[in-house]
Chains A and B, each alone.
Chain A
Amino acid sequence: MFGLKNTSLFGDTKKLEKEIDDFVDILSEVGLVFKSIIPTYLNYSANEKFEEMVDRVKEMESKADKITKEVEHTLYEETLIPDSRSDVLRLLEHLDEVIGLYQGNCYHFSIQKPNFPKEFHQDLIELTDNVVNCVESLCLTVRSFFRDIQSVRDNAHKVTFYEKESDIKFSALARKIFDSELSLDKKMHLRYFVEKIDRICDQAEDIADEIQIYAIKRSI
């Protein structure tokens, strides 16, 4: 009617809402898988179970990519949320980068097979748990941006908290590594991995800051 494209507007809206929810679910799930991947690797090295988990992360990453493209297409095709369309798309792209960082970490473990001595295991697992908690808080921030803009600040604050915790854990572990008796090449190799895991938190914090700005822009 009247050349309106929005005869299926509510249908498209529901579909998009679901796709965005699915995307955030994937981000959360990838984190949970990553949380088990590190202890699995540390206990059994790059065995079959570990590789299966890496494949799972890869699958989820592809699925997230597909959703990003579909959301982008629908938002532009149906000219939905014109005022915050670019913000939403940028947000999804940056969240996709977090999934990419998880996947990158998995690949590096799988290819380079770093040899973490037992004395570092607990610290690395704690750092990983903290990173995953940070991304979990980011997921809550994203969900609140879409549904409950007033909670964005509270959730974003949690992301900042975990990022700071992560920095502390990273520094402590890096110091421990360089204080050890390992050779310099091995120390640097291990530091590279610890740094890459910590990098996920930095990205999560940047995104949480972005979301806070988007939320201010969206306030009526």
Chain B
Amino acid sequence: MELSIIIFLLGGLFLGWSLGANDAANVFGTAVGTRMMRFRTAAIICSIFVILGAIISGSGTTETLGKLGAINALPGAFAACVAAGLSVYLMTRFGLPVSTTQAIVGAIVGWNIYTGSSTNTKILITILSTWVLCPIIAGLIAMFFYVLAKKFIHSSKLHILRLDAYTRAALILAGAFGAYSLGANNIANVMGVFVPISPFTDINVMNIFIFSSKEQLFLLGGIAIAIGVFTYSRRVMFTVGNDLSKMSPVAAFIVVISHSIVLFLFASQGISNFLQSINLPSIPLVPVSSSQAVVGAVIGIGLLKGGKEVRWSVAGKISLGWVTLPVIAALMSFMILFILQNIFNLTVNF
């Protein structure tokens, strides 16, 4: 493989790293921050399941991103990833929980604008509408689980120690499911732009199965996410945990499971096909934001408690971040493409 290809892939791996550092914190942040789980345990479970989710179920959302804008040159894909990674880094510096999802979508649109390629508005609208739907669905699921958990705790009369042990086990399971869903839903952000121009070839593993070039890319992306989890997410996890310090461990579990279900819903080909088979509108397979899901779930629980605990000014600031991030990513993508094409003389579009 040429050195240039490796360098370009590094753009995606950088984005993967930032996804591992930031978005993965949403999965285990409350568990680690509230000291219900050790960081090492969380990091190992998270890494394994992110990689599994990416390889096994990562295709659906990747196709959608591909339809939004088929970046057809490695330098172009590199520019999109770097733009997305930098804009996520920038917003994180302002303490806003943003996601790579919004950044990569903005960056792809930036590539479309720069190269004069048309943006599939239908897909773009679908993606944007899921960003509105995602926190709402997460909030509704969290409300449902909150009422259910409250009833269960009151009727079962579990000793608080037993409840603590069950919550801990549930957090591990929900976290594993969340990490799998994150891998499945968000791998498209990291490696999606490289799929049409994958430098890998399919590998036939002892005639048992074919390890496709796409899966190899996803494995690589998954490993980058895992590295992000191990090297940088600790601090973010504690921040997420402490920011949500008013939450009880049970509420933390509800947030994690609601977030995981939403990410899974928007990544599962199986559920989408099933809904179609019974003549229901299918769920679009779109990379959604794990941060949006978490914030939606937290607000959902807050509303059930009467809404007094929800800090609406913070919620407003976060929403503003969600709107500005894709715009910043698009502008940055445009600028990087300009630099690559005009200063480094690289082809960003065929």
Chain A positions near chain B (C-beta within 8 angstroms) = 2-6, 9-10, 13, 16-17, 20, 79-84, 88, 145-150, 218-220
Q: Are A10 and B248 in contact (CB under 8 A)?
A: no
Chief secondary structure at chain B's binding surface: helix
Shortest CB–CB separation between residue B274 and chain A, in angstroms?
32
Q: Are A9 and B36 in contact (CB under 8 A)?
A: no
Q: Are A3 and B41 in contact (CB under 8 A)?
A: yes
- What 1/0 mask marks residues of chain B from 141 to 158 whose CB sits below 8 Å from any chain A CB? 000001001100110011
Shortest CB–CB separation between residue A15 and chain B, in angstroms?
9
Chain A residue at minimum C-beta to C-beta distance from B162: A13
Q: Are B161 and A82 in contact (CB under 8 A)?
A: no
- What 1/0 mask marks residues of chain B from 16 to 42 whose CB sits below 8 Å from any chain A CB? 000000000000000000111010110
In the complex, what residues of A have CB within 8 A of residue B278's CB?
none
A219 to B154 CA separation, bound complex (whole angstroms) = 10
A16 to B161 CA separation, bound complex (whole angstroms) = 8
Q: Are B158 and A10 in contact (CB under 8 A)?
A: no
A218 to B164 CA separation, bound complex (whole angstroms) = 11
Q: Are B149 and A6 in contact (CB under 8 A)?
A: no
Chain B residue at minimum C-beta to C-beta distance from A75: B161
Shortest CB–CB separation between residue B237 and chain A, in angstroms?
14
- Interface residue B165 (Cβ < 8 Å from any Cβ of A): yes
Partner of B165, one of A6, A83, A220: A6
Beyond A10-B165, A16-B161, A220-B153, 10 extra complex contacts between A and B, CB < 8 Å:
A3-B41, A5-B38, A9-B165, A79-B35, A81-B161, A82-B36, A82-B249, A146-B159, A147-B157, A149-B153
In the complex, what residues of A have CB within 8 A of residue B36's CB?
82
- Interface residue B250 (Cβ < 8 Å from any Cβ of A): yes
Interface residues on B, range: 20 to 34
11 residue pairs from A and B, CB less than 8 Å apart: A9-B168, A13-B159, A13-B164, A17-B159, A17-B161, A79-B35, A81-B160, A81-B164, A147-B157, A148-B154, A220-B251
Chain A residue at minimum C-beta to C-beta distance from B163: A81
> Which 8 A-B residue pairings sit nearest by Cβ, starting from the closest?
A82-B35, A220-B250, A13-B165, A81-B164, A148-B157, A13-B161, A220-B248, A2-B41
Chain A residue at minimum C-beta to C-beta distance from B41: A2
Shortest CB–CB separation between residue B51 and chain A, in angstroms?
15
In the complex, what residues of B have CB within 8 A of residue A2's CB?
40-41, 44-45
A13 to B150 CA separation, bound complex (whole angstroms) = 21
In the complex, what residues of B have CB within 8 A of residue A83's CB?
34, 248-249
Shortest CB–CB separation between residue A77 and chain B, in angstroms?
13
Shortest CB–CB separation between residue B107 and chain A, in angstroms?
35
In the complex, what residues of B have CB within 8 A of residue A148's CB?
154, 157
- What 1/0 mask marks residues of chain B from 43 to 76 whose CB sits below 8 Å from any chain A CB? 0110000000000000000000000000000000
Shortest CB–CB separation between residue A6 and chain B, in angstroms?
6
A2 to B42 CA separation, bound complex (whole angstroms) = 9
Shortest CB–CB separation between residue B290 and chain A, in angstroms?
22
Chain B residue at minimum C-beta to C-beta distance from A16: B161
- What 1/0 mask marks residues of chain B from 208 to 222 whose CB sits below 8 Å from any chain A CB? 000000000000000
Chain B residue at minimum C-beta to C-beta distance from A5: B38
In the complex, what residues of A have CB within 8 A of residue B45's CB?
2
Q: Are A220 and B150 in contact (CB under 8 A)?
A: yes
A83 to B164 CA separation, bound complex (whole angstroms) = 10
Shortest CB–CB separation between residue B250 and chain A, in angstroms?
4
Chain A residue at minimum C-beta to C-beta distance from B251: A220
| B window 143-198: CB within 8 A of A | 146, 149-150, 153-154, 157-162, 164-165, 168-169
A62 to B24 CA separation, bound complex (whole angstroms) = 48
Shortest CB–CB separation between residue A202 and chain B, in angstroms?
27
Partner of A6, one of B40, B44, B146, B168: B168
Shortest CB–CB separation between residue B184 and chain A, in angstroms?
21
A81 to B168 CA separation, bound complex (whole angstroms) = 9
Choose among A10, A16, A81 the residue with the greatest number of B CB atoms under 10 Å from its CB.
Answer: A81
A3 to B45 CA separation, bound complex (whole angstroms) = 11
In the complex, what residues of B have CB within 8 A of residue A13's CB?
159, 161-162, 164-165
Choose among B36, B159, B248, B250 the residue with the greatest number of A CB atoms under 10 Å from its CB.
Answer: B159
Chain B residue at minimum C-beta to C-beta distance from A217: B248
